[in-house]
Amino acid sequence: MMRSMVRGKCVSTESTSLLWRVHRRRNLLTGEWVLVSPHRTQRPWQGQIEKNEAASLPTHDPSCYLCPGNARAGGVKNPNYAETFVFDNDFAALRLESSTQTLQHGLLQAESESGLCRVICYSPAHHLTLGQMTLTGIRAVIDTWASQYETLGDRPDIHAVTIFENRGAMMGASSPHPHGQVWANQTIPNELAREVAFQDAHFADVGRCLLCDYVEIELERRERVVVENEHFLAVVPFWATWPFETLVLPKSHQPTVSTLNSEGRDGFAAILKAINKRYDALFAVTFPYTMGLHQLPTDGIERAGFHMHAHFYPPLLRSATVRKFMVGYEMLAGPQRDITPEIAAERLRTAG
């Protein structure tokens, strides 16, 4: 394989040529193909312009239903919490069901779904984001993620625990107060199920963890690495769909946040702060995103090849006011991106 230098890094000539050609890339975790069209970065834009959400926020907002001491939308009053605070979602999408019901009518099939939904307030400070919190505060959030995964996952009627955050009105967040959610399902949701299947298949084929192998590739090539420390790595994945999407991975094989030791959790906190810093610096705005953890299902099935990770899906494309829309071809055919993952990674690296 011939190699050449790109910005001081040794990369294959095949990779260099693909940076500027229309091509598609395979997502190792789902098997899905992503169309990459680098030439479209120059296309004119006369579409929707988003509002800049750079307004300054107070430390405590008396109208916020997540701030300490305030009444929530359902009427329950929050305690005067000083650290992280967890409560059952007042408008939960899932409820615990005492029995299972199914519907089968020819091609039509349905079944009841049971589960729990909770809200995690990261901090009592209304004006902060996860990335603006201290490392100690972020570590407390990570410890809360671990305890929620363990507590809910220990239930015999819960087989998957999804922890996520929607940040910014652009991503549907109902409040700017720093918070995330936990949805615990009786069944394994679609995205996690696909990732489990591909990681299981790789382990069955070669006897190694898929994402451990992928970490080795990214550390060797370094084209898509955004930031790293002793314990964690953040990359724009080779198959990224969203313009500045990132994948956060432990360098050692870890199935859940709970299996991280104290140093590993500190490393996780540091990488989360570092990636947020780069996001916010990129367009000088508090970056909107959906972030979520994929951890080992809690259905009791042994899966030696499963590797925990966090996805960041931010929608911004060209600036703080121009976003990527998943419409048209994306809805009817498959995902498509303009800026290559390599260029996105370089921009995020230098933004920090």
99 φ, ψ (degrees, to nearest 5): -140, 160
User: Which one of the listed residues 126, 159, 177, 179 is annotated catalytic?
Assistant: 179
**What is residue 21's three-state secondary structure?**
coil
Cβ-contact 220, 228 below 8 angstroms: no
Cite the beta strand spans of the chain per DSSP E. Answer: 3-6, 9-12, 23-26, 33-36, 85-88, 102-105, 108-111, 115-121, 160-167, 179-185, 225-228, 232-235, 246-250, 289-294, 309-313, 316-319, 322-323, 336-337
* Sequence-distant (≥ 6) Cβ neighbours of residue 165 within 8 angstroms: 130, 179, 180, 181, 289, 290, 291, 292
Q: How many Å apart are CA 201 and CA 195, to the nearest integer? A: 10
Q: Which two tokens stand for residue 265?
A: 């959790």
Cα angle 143, 144, 148; round to 5: 120
Q: How many Å apart are CA 165 and CA 171, to the nearest integer? A: 10
Q: Which two tokens stand for residue 6?
A: 């790109």
307 is catalytic: no
What is the dihedral sign for C-alpha 314, 319, 320, 323?
negative
Q: Which residues are catalytic?
A: 179
